[in-house]
Structure 1
Amino acid sequence: METVTVVLVLLVAVVVSSSAARITPIPLPVVQIGLGAALALLPLPTVSLDPETFFLVFLPPLLFLDAWRIPKRALVRDGGVVLALSIGLVLFTVAGMGLFIHALIPAMPLAVAVALAAVLSPTDPVAVSAVAARVAIPRRLMHILEGEALLNDASGLVCLRFAVAAALTGSFSPLSASGTFLWLVACGIGIGIAGTLLVTELQSRLIRRLGEDPGTQTLFSLLIPFCAYALAERVGASGILAAVAAGGTMNLVENRGRALALTRLRRTAVWDTVQLAANGAIFVLLGEQLPGILADAMRATGGSGWGAGALLSGYVAAITLGLMVLRFAWSFVTLRFGLTGGGAAGGVTWHLVLVTTLSGVRGAVTLAGILGLPLALPDGAPFPARTLAICIAVGVILLSLAIASALLPLLLPHLQLPPEPEGHAEEDAVREAAAKAARRVIERLQAELEKDRGDADIIAEAAAAVLQRYDRRPYRSVGSDQADKRGRERAAIEQRLRVAGLRAERHALFGLSRRRRIGDGLLRRLVREIDLAEARNHTDT
């Protein structure tokens, strides 16, 4: 019963924090940590976090979803930058910060210092989005940050695994580590890809035999990351890479377009909820654990009160500054050559490098990784400096969020990136190609219906009404900047008018329901149609 109570309290806390963050300037992760700390003071069941369970519950769905939704074209276009940030910067950070942390805190063994550096290397685009919610991040930079975060989650956590193994065994063999690394990567990725293809093929066969049920298909998608992770871990491979590979494979499988529209809509809604709940629960759990972690970490520093607190704060500040310095230097070189394709600066300014540096906010994966440190060594002794490492990681998360919250809203409005290759012309061409395909199918079906059923006048009227949507041309590609501006203004006005009309329809339907002049089933169906049309109008412009 206590487990059920804890789960319900976590979900309520996520809901409350999400609402509170909308009315305060404080980033959502900070609100959730604060709420978790408040919960720790209430007479509620405490949470004992088992590292293996924590990893299994939270990481697979988050990594799977990130890989599933990553924009492939943007990832390929800026692939060099993404790889340099997600792999090169991770290795640079693990080596540089591992040595720095060990020198800063001699009581922390080198293997544990490297593990802390590894867990601090992944970044969190969700946290960055929360920080910059009131000032939009340029789309191209956001795609780079998303790609970096996806791949550095995997690379950072693989490095963490090696560091933890070294801490547990007290030794590290480069030759053995290389073989293990190849097995972790190859087998983990293979399991993720093969498992996803197997499940999707099973889905296709069930659909052909029994028809498509949106609920069942959604449940299939929820099971994939957990099964891939668990199977990979079972055979000694990387469950993290298996979850990422599974998500990337789902990204490719989706291009077949076999799922029903209703399935995609429901599945998207469910996965959005899973992402919100998992991300939020991680930060709430952090807040709930924070008082105990802080007390233990103070004792680990050999002091208490203000002196120990000041020492911990100094560690956090020094490590955060070190991470930012390394990221700034690496980002400058990477962006200068990666975004421009050569040695010329080409629009890559110090301003852009600074924003990229500040966007390296630590978040859910760092927290999950550090809380996943083993509780004890093989001989039963406590894992060395575990609570101190957790406290430092939490402090870095909070401090990086605070710095980004203060500075990114000031820097983002004036940020300019090198131009993206695609623009409005490409969107217009794609829309026109889709419209032509639709017109061909409609006209062919119209001819078949006229041949089979007669009633040519009625069929022609219906076809003409449907074709009106595809006969409208985009307003942007009209030949001049002035016309382009006028077209965008007209499209925006049309959108407002359409949305106002749709909302009036919905309001009228609810009014009819209150007066009991429409049945509940018909009401739900008509309101859903209006909701979908309104959502489409919001995404079309």
Structure 2
Amino acid sequence: MHLTLVLVVGIVSVVATSAVADRIGVAAPLGLVLVGIAMSFVPGVHVELEPEIVLDGVLPPLLYASATRMPGHDFRRNFGTIFALAVYLVALTTVGAGYLAYAVLPGVGLAACLALGAVVSPTDAVAATSVGSKLGLPSRLTAIIEGEGLVNDATALVLLTSAATAISTPTHVWRVGVDFVYSVAVATAFGLVVGLLGVVARAWLRDAVTTTAVSFTIPFVAFLPADLLDASGVLAVVVAGLVSGAMGPRHLPAPSRLAESVNWRTIAFLLEGGIFLVLGLQLKPLWNGVEDAGLSAGTTVATGLLVAALTLGIRIVFVAPVIARLRYSAERAGRQRARIAGVEQKIDDLGDRLTPRRLQQARQRVAQHKADLDFSVTQRLGARGGGVLAWSGMRGAVTVAAAQTLPADTPHRAQLILIAFTVAVVTLLVQGASLPYVIRWLEVPGDDPALERVAYAALAADMTDAAAEAVSRDAVVASVGVEAVERMERLLRDRAKPREQDAAHDEQARRHGELMGVVLAAQREALLAAQAEGRYSSAVLHRAQQTLDLQELMVQRLPSTSG
């Protein structure tokens, strides 16, 4: 009964706090942390943050849910920046924060201090994107922040494992590099296999309830084997999520994907809210733990503030060359874009020598490269975007949970955990609360709604042309009749025209349903081709995907096309 009461109170607290935070314009994670801190001082309220529950039970589904929502071409286009932030910046922060702690904490060995550095190095993308989404950050900046948050946990946990091992056993630097490469390679392989098999299994089931149930197991199926082989289970989950998100629209029916989307959004909302609430609840127990160890909690918090300031400073310095590199890439893309026409002409000249399939593949690769160049030129991130990116480096509950995995014999373990907690809470509350003002002060422009409307209209026209071509094929005309095809063509050209004929009688509705199946299949292929080429933004593609899914649900309510 006690556990049931805790769960009910927790869910009610998450929902109520999130609702109030939304009404007053505050990011929900910040409000939940403050509520948790206040509740930690209520007599009788004591909730332990078990690191295994967070790292093995909560983190995999959270990362999987985020990864499935990450557009594949956004991740690919920003991979260089994401890799730099998630690997190089994490390593730099680990070393910098570790040596700072080593300098100010007498009696704590270098290995333990580097472990602390690894703990405070990964950012929490949930808090940053929850603020940015309300203030209209450009989609590219949001994708970079989310991508960094997906990958950097894996880097930090690998470094933490190496540093924690070095506390009791000497470890060479080259060994850390070998462990990292091994961890990434094995995790990536497991993630690819599990993601692919998960899509195949759910496509075979084709029932919204059973496919959703299977999707709940995918993050753990990816995590556990990789973790047992001492690889990064977290990275395996991310790769599986990216594969599922990329392959789902082609292989899974709309009802299954819509059901999964709603259920995963609900799960992610409760897990994210619960983890931030529990994070705030740790203040009093951690404070008491330091005092019980005979150490000064006030001095420990002050050290945490110093470490938090250093992590922010390192991030600001690191982001500057990253933005400079993006600026150089945009200038180079502008020069390369001028030569694309010549490449397209060469492919046309070779058309007679290539098979139709090879010709189509060549044209698609060129179209994708052209779209990537256009993306680099039009979606620039200048100094203002870099300022927001630098200020978005908040830490979260993973930092505190990872700190609690330090070996029991670690010198001043309670003090290190409270330092990690201080870094997480201070960056969340200070940077998180001020991020909206930073965004407004820097006047970072969001995506242009007018351009998105034009792009959506162009994509809709492409999909309509593909559908019109599909319904006019001889096989389709022979199957449903000329009259039905002509009626569908008029409907395609004028979406506003009412469909009184659809329910005239079952036979006519059957033919309409069959034609709509052809239309939707052709439109989905056109959408997937546009997604592969990257000619449109993620927001435009997502809107078109939702429209198709809803239309597919409507068609399924028509009489069966089998007669």
Judge same fold: TM > 0.5, yes or no: yes
Aligned to 1:515: none
Quick check: 2:248–2:257 contact (8 Å CA) kept in 1? no
2:490 maps to which of 464, 487, 490: 464
Amino acid at match of 2:461: E
Quick check: 1:298–1:312 contact (8 Å CA) kept in 2? no
Aligned to 1:440: 469
Per-residue deviation at 1:44?
6.0
- 2:240 and 2:484 map into 1 onto residues whose CA distance is 49
- 2:135 and 2:95 map into 1 onto residues whose CA distance is 34
Residue 129 of structure 1 aligns to a residue whose secondary structure is helix
C-alpha offsets along residues 39-70 of structure 1, whole Å, 9 cap, x if unaligned?
Answer: 44557674344332331111111122222222
Residue 24 of structure 2 aligns to a residue whose secondary structure is coil
Quick check: 2:301–2:418 contact (8 Å CA) kept in 1? no
2:419 maps to which of 384, 387, 392: 392
- 1:394 and 1:237 map into 2 onto residues whose CA distance is 26
Gaps of at least 5 residues in structure 2 are: 333-376, 498-549, 555-563
C-alpha offsets along residues 245-297 of structure 1, whole Å, 9 cap, x if unaligned?
Answer: 21122133225x22121111110001111111111111111222221112223
Per-residue deviation at 1:457?
5.7
C-alpha offsets along residues 197-248 of structure 1, whole Å, 9 cap, x if unaligned?
Answer: 23333333x43xxxx2101111111101012111222233221122122112
Quick check: 1:63–1:150 contact (8 Å CA) kept in 2? yes
C-alpha offsets along residues 167-207 of structure 1, whole Å, 9 cap, x if unaligned?
Answer: 2x342133443443333222222122212223333333x43
Report the aligned-residue RMSD: 3.3
Structure 1 pair 410–47 and aligned structure 2 pair: CA distance change class (3 A): closer
1:199 is the counterpart of 2:206:
no
- 2:284 and 2:434 map into 1 onto residues whose CA distance is 28
Matches within 5 A, 1:108-507: 108-132=108-132, 134-167=134-167, 169-204=168-203, 206-207=204-205, 212-255=206-249, 257-300=250-293, 302-303=295-296, 308-309=297-298, 311-341=299-329, 350-371=383-404, 373-374=405-406, 376-377=408-409, 383-413=410-440, 414-416=442-444, 424=452, 426-444=455-473, 447-448=477-478, 450-451=480-481, 460-461=486-487, 464-465=490-491, 467-469=493-495
- 1:234 and 1:4 map into 2 onto residues whose CA distance is 32
Amino acid at match of 2:425: L
- 1:105 and 1:349 map into 2 onto residues whose CA distance is 39
Per-residue deviation at 1:30?
2.5
Kindly tell me the number of residue pairs found equivalent between the two proteins: 452
- 2:107 and 2:403 map into 1 onto residues whose CA distance is 18
- 1:249 and 1:101 map into 2 onto residues whose CA distance is 39
Structure 1 pair 349–228 and aligned structure 2 pair: CA distance change class (3 A): closer
Structure 1 pair 162–300 and aligned structure 2 pair: CA distance change class (3 A): same
C-alpha offsets along residues 481-531 of structure 1, whole Å, 9 cap, x if unaligned?
Answer: xxxxxxxxxxxxxxxxxxxxxxxxxxxxxxxxxxxxxxxxxxxx9xx97xx
C-alpha offsets along residues 419-448 of structure 1, whole Å, 9 cap, x if unaligned?
Answer: 99x955654443322111222234458734
- 2:485 and 2:239 map into 1 onto residues whose CA distance is 48
Structure 1 pair 45–314 and aligned structure 2 pair: CA distance change class (3 A): closer
Amino acid at match of 2:234: I
Quick check: 2:21–2:27 contact (8 Å CA) kept in 1? yes
Amino acid at match of 1:225: P
Gaps of at least 5 residues in structure 1 are: 378-382, 472-524, 530-541
Quick check: 2:95–2:114 contact (8 Å CA) kept in 1? yes
Amino acid at match of 2:228: R
- 2:476 and 2:194 map into 1 onto residues whose CA distance is 43
Amino acid at match of 1:400: T
Per-residue deviation at 1:88?
1.2
Quick check: 1:11–1:281 contact (8 Å CA) kept in 2? yes
Further displaced range: 220-229 or 357-366? 357-366
- 1:14 and 1:409 map into 2 onto residues whose CA distance is 22
Per-residue deviation at 1:3?
3.3
Residue 328 of structure 1 aligns to a residue whose secondary structure is helix
- 1:251 and 1:100 map into 2 onto residues whose CA distance is 41
Q: Percent identity?
A: 28
Aligned to 1:516: none
Per-residue deviation at 1:466?
5.0
- 1:131 and 1:102 map into 2 onto residues whose CA distance is 34
C-alpha offsets along residues 325-369 of structure 1, whole Å, 9 cap, x if unaligned?
Answer: 11111100111122332899x986554433221111112432432
C-alpha offsets along residues 129-154 of structure 1, whole Å, 9 cap, x if unaligned?
Answer: 33345522222211111122222122
- 1:463 and 1:69 map into 2 onto residues whose CA distance is 34
- 2:424 and 2:45 map into 1 onto residues whose CA distance is 26
Structure 1 pair 351–457 and aligned structure 2 pair: CA distance change class (3 A): closer
- 1:343 and 1:441 map into 2 onto residues whose CA distance is 41
Structure 1 pair 107–52 and aligned structure 2 pair: CA distance change class (3 A): same
Residue 341 of structure 1 aligns to a residue whose secondary structure is helix
- 1:282 and 1:469 map into 2 onto residues whose CA distance is 46
Quick check: 2:123–2:394 contact (8 Å CA) kept in 1? yes
- 1:342 and 1:157 map into 2 onto residues whose CA distance is 33
Structure 1 pair 146–470 and aligned structure 2 pair: CA distance change class (3 A): farther
Residue 469 of structure 1 aligns to a residue whose secondary structure is coil
